[in-house]
Amino acid sequence: MLLNAAGLEAEKCWLAIPEHFPFVELDAFVIMPNHIHGIIVITPDGDNVRANVGAKNFSPLPPPPSRHSQSFRSPSKTVGSIVRGFKIGVTKWFRAKTDVYAVWQRNYYDHIVRDEPSLHRIRQYIVDNPMKWAIDHENPGRGE
């Protein structure tokens, strides 16, 4: 996949995610003409150690709220906040450099990777995705 200026900016914003979210490591990713695929690893407290997930590696329950504590959790360490930050960065560039105003679809797809075989399958899907662009129904240049 050869990236144009917009794709290069999206790549730059993607690679900058750990600068804004120090508890994040990036894994495989690919910028496509109309979407992006990427693996985001959320590490415990930004110490760049992969978190254990799954049935045998339970996360501790949060302490019960006290009368004096806030009853909500900051959304800054969620996948949603990471994706939102990335989308904002790319959107700002588009609005400053192009006449494109609506850049992204409203939502995103996420999936929790629970084991190494699944991680390898997803990485391979990401690597193979550019080869499938020629037959993608969203590709305006595909031959029919």
Per-residue pLDDT band for 141 (boundaries 50, 70, 90) equals confident
Query: Which pLDDT score, from 0 to 100, does residue 46 have?
Result: 53
Asked if 127 contacts 30 with a C-beta cutoff of 8 angstroms, the reply is: yes
Q: Exposed e or buried b for every residue in 127-144, given b needs 16+ CB within 10 A?
A: eebeeeeeeeeeeeeeee
Number of helical (H) and strand (E) elements in the chain, helices listed first: 4, 2
Tell me if residue 36 falls in helix, strand or coil.
strand
Q: Where are the domains of the chain?
A: 5-53+74-135
State whether the Cα torsion 44-15-96-130 is positive or negative: negative
pLDDT value for 65: 56
Question: Measured in Å, how far apart are the chain's first and last C-alpha atoms?
Answer: 21
Is residue 69 over pLDDT 60?
no
Residue pair 14/26 in contact by the 8 Å Cβ criterion: yes
Burial letters 92-101, b for 16+ CB under 10 A, else e = ebbeeeeeee
Fold topology of 5-53+74-135 = Alpha-Beta Plaits (3.30.70)
Residue predicted with more confidence, 28 or 52? 28
Neighbours of 46 (CB within 10 A): 14
Residue that is written with structure tokens 């990036």 in the block: 26
pLDDT computed for residue 56 by the predictor: 45
High-pLDDT (> 70) share of the chain, %:
77
- Across the chain, mean pLDDT equals 82
Question: What's the pLDDT tens digit per position in 1-26?
Answer: 789 999 999 999 999 999 999 999 99
CA gap 52, 141 in Å, rounded: 43
